[in-house]
Each structure stands twice: as C-alpha cells, then as structure tokens.
C-alpha cells in the first residue's frame, strides 16, 4: 500500500506543478470503446512542423475563439496539428471541455533539453480528447490525464521523460500503439477504471506500466522490455494482462487477497511462458518450463524445479497455506522467491545467484527456508513483518546481508553459514523472541551478527570470525549470548551499547584486534561471566552502569593476563572488576598464560616452546630449561630408549631424542652410525631405570 500512496502523491505533485485546478462533478461514465479512434498503429513520421507558443484551452469555446479547425463533433473534431511547442511549463493545457478534439502530428519538448522539465499535454476534466502521432521528449511529464473520460493517446512516441503518461481518477480511456523509451515511469495510473492499454512498446524504463487502485483495466498485446518493473498491479481489481511479451522484466501484484483476482494468460518472459496458479489444492506442479511463476490462494501444493532468470520477481506466492517450493533455481532476479501473507510455506533447497533478495517471507507465519545455497545476492533470506518463521541450514556467500529478520517475532536462524557479507552475516531489527543457534559467520566486512532493537533474543553457539565487528547489540534488552566463539575480528569481538539486561556466558572471545567485549556508556544491568576472554588487543572495556563481570558468587571469566591474585580490573569509566577471575592455559601444557609470559618466558600458544618433544611444564617440574632444546640430552637418567636395527647386523642402539619438531638424533653403540630402521618412537619421556 505504501508504494501506491507514494505514487498517488507523485501524481498530485505533478498536477500541482501544472496548475490544473478544476475538479469535475457528475460526469457520465462511458467506455473507452467510444473514444476517438486512433488513425493507425505505429508512430508516424512528422512533417511540416511549425514552432508555436504554449497553448491553453480552458473551455469548449476556446477552440473556436483561438481559431482551431473543426466543429467539436466526433466526425469533425477540433484539430491542433503540426506544431512544435517547447516549454519548461505546460506546452498544451486543456481543461473543462466536452467537445471532441484531436492533437496530432505535434512535437512537445522541454525548452532546455539538457534538463528534464515541463509538461507536454495536460488534460483535466476533459471528455472526448485524443492525442495521435505526436512526439514527447525530455519532459518531466509527457502526458497528464486527470479526471478525464473517453480520452485516448495513440501512435505516439515518448522518450527520456520522467513520467510518460500519468493518469489519475479517469474513466474509459485508451492508450494504443505508443512507444515509451528511457523514462523513469513509462505508464502510471492511479484510481482509473476501464482503461485499455494495447500494442505498446515500453523499453528501458524504471517502471514500465503501473496501475494503483485501478479496476477493470486491460493490458494486451504489448512489448515491455528491460524495465526494472514490467507491469505492476497494486491494490487493483479485475484487470486483464494477456498476450504480452516481456524481456528482462515481468508481472508484479500487490495488495490484499482480493487484489490478486486478475486474468493473466498468454504472456511470455524471455521467450518462456508466465504461469498464474489460482486456488489450486493438493497438486504437484513442475515449473521447469516457465519463465515466471505467480500463485495465489493455493493449498497443500508442491511447486518444484523452477528455473527462473532475468525477471524482477522469479516466483510470487501469496495468501497460500501449506505449500512447498522445492529445488528452485533463480538468478539475475530482484527477488528469487517472494512469499506474501502465507502460512506454513516451506522453501526447500533453493539455489539462488545474483539476485537482490534470495527468499523473502513477507507477512508470513510458521514458514521456513530450509537448506539451499545463495551467492552474490543483496540479501539471502529476508523475514519481514512475520511470525514463527525460520532459516535452517542455509548457506549464503558474498551478500550485502546474509540473513535479515525485520519487525518479526518468534523467528530463528539455525545451523546456517554466512560468508563474506559486506554488511552483516545476520541482521535482526525491531524484533522480539528471536533465536540464533549454531550459525557460522565469517569474513563480514562490517559486522558478523548485528542485533538492533531486539527484545528477548537468544544467540547460542555461533562461530563469528574475521569480521570487522563480531557481534553488535544495540538498543536491545533481555538478550543472551551463550557459547559463542568470537575470534580474529579486526575491531571488536562483542560491541554492546544502548542496551540493558544483556547476558554473555560460556563464550570464547579471543584474538580480536580491538576490544574483546565492549560495554558502552549506555549499557546497564549487563552480565558477563563464565567466558574465556583472552589475547585480544584489549580484553574488555566497561563504560556502562551497574554491569557485572562475574556471577556474584564464585565464577568470573578466564583471562590470559590475570596475575593470579586478587580481582581482575576491567578498563573503562565504570571502574568495574571481575571479582572471581580465573587463569587460562591456551596451549594446555599445565601453565597459565600469565605464568608462561611473565615468569618463564615460554610461549603460551605452544606447549613445547623449545621444540625438544617435552612439554614446558614437564621440563620445569624436573628442573630443565623449557627454552633450551639441548638440556634434556645432558641431564642424567632422562632418556627415551628407541630400538634401532642396523641393516647389516641386529645391533641395538640407543637413541636420545632431541627432536626439534620431530627429528630424532641417533647415537650408535660403537659410535659408527649405520643405516637404521626405526621400530618405535615415543614422544613422552620416561626416566631410564638406574
């Protein structure tokens, strides 16, 4: 509905600009069938054109007083012909007339062609007007038809205009045989009825043909090529779209259930049929031969094997229940699959490339995207204004946004993978009761998981790495991050601000380039405990209020740089501390990272710093130097027997393992090494019996 409102607003602004003020009342409703018929199809060549000043017709009498030929009847209409009018205002204005008139063989353009400005022909409260074989170029509005009855536009060309033909609150008009090229909006009507659009050529426009709040209109036998939107029917009733040829664009429908009650047949897109399913139940449909798919009011139906490309909306399904879309392939679409106002829809194993949105669930309930792969998309899976919808085991690469949940409740993202997103791998906004579990997000250029205005959210088991910011949580409350692994992010591991009652537990936050966990100045009542927070450029910072870094009883967090005594102070304005800190042993050699760095000088990331095959702690306990790979060779009673056989004789030798990265040194019993065959090797060192 918002699109239509914007369109209506745009038309009203156009009318205000051209200063058309009269509003008709009590005009009889007629059919477009009685309109002045066009002279033929195809734009005719213009000749004998004379420059002329802008023209204003305010009543039927103005045709006669201004000297235009004809008498205003259907058989002898007033004729305005063979003129070139250039203006940055209105070239031709006709208002409040019922006489038949014809504008033909004229050229209308902006007075400053380098700018798109002015209006070609503006008609308001006109009955029985016709425009035929005219050209319109570089205008803001080529033709405006407002509050008109039984008018027509035929065999004319509109090039490089902002609006081609704009219609508002008019009845029974005909648009036939016209070309609209390189316009922002080719044909746009709001609040019209019984319009016929025939044999049009609309190409390279942002919007081809759009009808808002319009009824009983026909769009037939037209060619609509390379427009961002081909035909849009929004909040319109009982229209016919038939026998049209679309290229790189198609059909879109918006509105409530009743606004999907149209007749759509005989259309093609990119040489393949467009199919429209209405009210089908308990069937299986193979979609492999179709170029675009629309479905409404379907139940328990399986749609399979669609292969859709180069069409704005690949598949649209609306107001349907219990349907499955499986093994769909889409590429070069604005949206691969759009589900609107559906319940219990499952999109299974889609393969989607180079689309604006992969799968869109809009105003849906209890629906899911399950499996599938998407790449080079604006957004992979989008859930908007929906409830109980899920993305499960989905993989998305090279997206702006891997998965978006917007203004939705009780939804989840589960066991999914998002790689190399330019925005965020997972984005949640203005939503309640959202669960993210066991997802992997890597290489996001901005944020791995972005949570904004989230209430009652749970993020459990994510792996987030190599992003700029791992997890961002802003303007949220009552959320938990549990068992997360947040590593190697360039700026911050977890960034939390403008939020309250946030819990971070059982998570591993390490090797992040900036701060491991940051609580901003507008956080309060946040709890961070039971985590491993190690080897970040700065492990933590708390600038908030009433936050805590332990459970208040006995459990805080593990820190690589805790000095093993007292509390662990948290940098920041809050002056907070972890009252129950614990040490951390990164390499598992039995020595805490702090002790390795500050006492022994060993590498806390390598349990065998000197590479002699002996763990650092083992050497220290036995009085050896964990930084000297040779001292184990010289120490008494500390050897590892390894049996070797020579190739010539079975002479036993003892090998003392020096093993710098696994390379043994051998010492033969006769100090004359031979070719040895090693029978066994033990990395662990045992004391040789005395």
Using the CB atoms, write b or e for 307-345: b if 16+ within 10 Å. Answer: bbbbbbbbbbbbbbbbbbbbbbbbbbbbbbbbbbbbbbb
Q: Provide the pLDDT confidence category of residue 48 given band limits of 50, 70 and 90.
A: confident
Contact 312, 252 (CB under 8 A): yes
Mean pLDDT of 634-643: 46
pLDDT digits (tens, 9 = 90+) for 57-103: 999 999 999 999 999 999 999 999 999 999 999 999 999 999 999 99
User: What's the pLDDT score for residue 47?
Assistant: 58
CA-to-CA distance for 298 and 277, rounded, in angstroms? 8
User: What's the pLDDT score for residue 634?
Assistant: 65
Residue 654 has pLDDT above 60, yes or no: no
CA-to-CA distance for 287 and 301, rounded, in angstroms? 12
Determine the Cα angle at 174 with ends 171 and 176, to 5°.
160
Q: Provide the pLDDT confidence category of residue 636 given band limits of 50, 70 and 90.
A: low
Mean pLDDT of 476-494: 98
Q: Provide the pLDDT confidence category of residue 630 given band limits of 50, 70 and 90.
A: confident
Mean pLDDT of the chain: 87
Supply the Cα-derived Rg of the chain in whole angstroms: 37
The answer to whether 272-419 and 423-584 have equal CATH topology is yes
User: What's the pLDDT score for residue 635?
Assistant: 60
User: What's the pLDDT score for residue 134?
Assistant: 98
Residue 684 has pLDDT above 80, yes or no: no
Minimal CA–CA distance to 368: which of 347, 384, 398?
A: 347
Does residue 593 sit in helix, strand or coil?
helix
Could you tell me the two tokens for 491? 């700026």
Residue 37 has pLDDT above 70, yes or no: no
Q: Which residue has the tokens 């536009």?
A: 153
Residue 468 has pLDDT above 80, yes or no: yes
Minimal CA–CA distance to 518: which of 469, 484, 588, 483?
A: 469
Compare 635 and 606 and report the one with higher pLDDT: 606
Strand intervals (E) in 411-552: 412-414, 417-419, 424-432, 435-437, 440-442, 447-455, 458-460, 463-465, 469-474, 477-482, 485-487, 492-497, 500-505, 508-510, 515-519, 527-529, 532-534, 538-542
Q: Which residues pair with 632 in a beta bridge?
A: none
Q: Provide the pLDDT confidence category of residue 108 given band limits of 50, 70 and 90.
A: very high
Return the CATH number of 423-584, one of 3.40.50.300, 2.160.20.10, 3.30.420.40, 1.20.140.10: 2.160.20.10
Could you tell me the two tokens for 79? 């004729």
pLDDT digits (tens, 9 = 90+) for 552-584: 999 999 999 999 999 999 999 999 999 999 998
Residue 390 has pLDDT above 70, yes or no: yes
Query: N- to C-terminal Cα distance for the chain?
Result: 91
Q: For the chain, what percent of residues have pLDDT higher than 70?
A: 84
Residue 628 has pLDDT above 90, yes or no: no
> What is the topology classification, in CATH, of domain 272-419?
Pectate Lyase C-like (2.160.20)
Q: For the chain, what percent of residues have pLDDT higher than 90?
A: 76
Domain ranges of the chain: 2-20+48-253, 272-419, 423-584, 607-690
Dihedral sign, Cα of residue 38, residue 39, residue 45, residue 49: negative
Mean pLDDT of 572-599: 89
């Amino acid at each position: 509905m918002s699109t239509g409102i914007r369109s209506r607003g745009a038309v009203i602004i156009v009318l205000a600009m051209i200063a058309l003020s009269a509003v008709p009342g009590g005009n009889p409703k007629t059919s477009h069938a009685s309109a002045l018929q066009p002279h033929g199809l195809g734009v005719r060549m213009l000749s004998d054109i004379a420059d002329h000043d802008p023209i204003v017709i305010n009543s039927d009498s103005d045709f006669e007083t201004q000297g235009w030929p004809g008498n205003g009847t259907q058989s002898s209409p007033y004729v305005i012909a063979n003129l070139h009018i250039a203006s940055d205002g209105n070239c031709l204005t006709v208002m409040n007339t019922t006489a038949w008139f014809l504008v033909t063989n004229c050229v209308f353009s902006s007075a400053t062609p380098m700018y798109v400005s002015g209006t070609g022909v503006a008609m308001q409260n006109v009955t029985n007007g016709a425009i035929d074989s005219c050209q319109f170029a570089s205008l803001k509005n080529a033709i405006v038809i407002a509050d008109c009855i039984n008018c027509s536009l035929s065999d004319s060309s509109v090039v490089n205009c902002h609006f081609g033909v704009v219609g508002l609150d008019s009845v029974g008009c005909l648009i036939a045989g016209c070309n609209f090229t390189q316009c922002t909006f080719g044909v746009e009507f709001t609040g019209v009825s019984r319009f016929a659009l025939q044999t049009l050529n609309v190409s390279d426009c942002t919007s081809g043909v759009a009808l808002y709040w319009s009824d009983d209109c026909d769009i037939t036998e037209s060619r609509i090529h390379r427009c961002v939107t081909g035909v849009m029917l929004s909040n319109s009733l009982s229209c016919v779209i038939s026998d049209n040829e679309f290229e790189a664009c198609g059909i879109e429908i918006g509105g409530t259930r009743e606004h999907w009650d149209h007749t759509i047949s005989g259309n093609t897109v990119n040489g393949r049929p467009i199919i429209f399913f209405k009210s089908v139940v308990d069937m299986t449909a193979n979609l492999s031969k179709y170029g675009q798919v629309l479905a409404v009011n379907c139940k328990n139906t399986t749609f399979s094997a669609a292969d859709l490309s180069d069409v704005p909306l690949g598949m649209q399904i609306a107001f349907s229940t219990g349907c499955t879309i499986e093994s769909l392939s889409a590429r070069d679409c604005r949206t691969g699959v759009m589900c609107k106002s559906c319940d219990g829809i499952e999109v299974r194993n889609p393969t989607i490339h180079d689309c604006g949105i992969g799968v869109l669930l809009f105003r849906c309930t209890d629906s899911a995207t399950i499996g599938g792969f998407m790449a080079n998309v604006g957004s992979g899976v989008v859930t908007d204004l929906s409830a109980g919808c899920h993305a499960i085991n989905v993989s998305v690469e090279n997206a702006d946004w891997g998965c978006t949940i917007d203004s939705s409740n009780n939804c989840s993202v589960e066991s999914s993978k998002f790689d190399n997103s330019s925005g965020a791998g997972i984005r949640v906004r203005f939503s309640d009761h959202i669960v993210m579990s066991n997802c992997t997000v890597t290489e996001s250029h901005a944020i791995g998981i972005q949570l904004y205005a989230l209430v009652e959210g749970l993020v459990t088991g994510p792996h987030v790495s190599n992003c700029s910011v791992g997890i961002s949580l802003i303007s949220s409350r009552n959320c938990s991050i549990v068992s997360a692994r947040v590593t190697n992010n360039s700026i911050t591991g977890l960034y939390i601000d403008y939020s309250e009652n946030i819990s971070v537990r059982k998570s591993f936050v390490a090797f992040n380039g900036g701060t491991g966990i940051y609580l901003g100045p507008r956080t309060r009542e946040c709890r961070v405990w039971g985590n491993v927070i190690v080897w970040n450029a700065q492990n933590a910072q708390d600038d908030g209020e009433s936050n805590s870094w332990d459970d208040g009883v006995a459990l805080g967090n593990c820190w690589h740089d805790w000095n093993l005594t007292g509390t662990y102070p948290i940098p920041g304005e809050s002056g907070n501390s972890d009252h129950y800190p614990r040490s951390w042993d990164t390499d598992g050699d039995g020595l805490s990272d702090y002790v390795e760095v500050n006492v022994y000088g060993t590498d806390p990331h390598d349990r065998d710093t000197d590479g002699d095959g002996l763990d650092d702690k083992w050497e220290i306990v036995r009085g050896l130097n964990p930084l000297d790979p040779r001292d184990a060779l010289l120490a008494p009673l500390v050897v590892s027997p390894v049996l070797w056989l020579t190739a010539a004789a079975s002479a036993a030798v003892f090998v003392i393992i020096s093993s710098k990265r696994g390379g043994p040194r051998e010492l033969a019993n006769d100090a004359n090494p031979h070719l040895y065959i090693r029978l066994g090797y033990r990395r662990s060192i045992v004391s040789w019996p005395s």
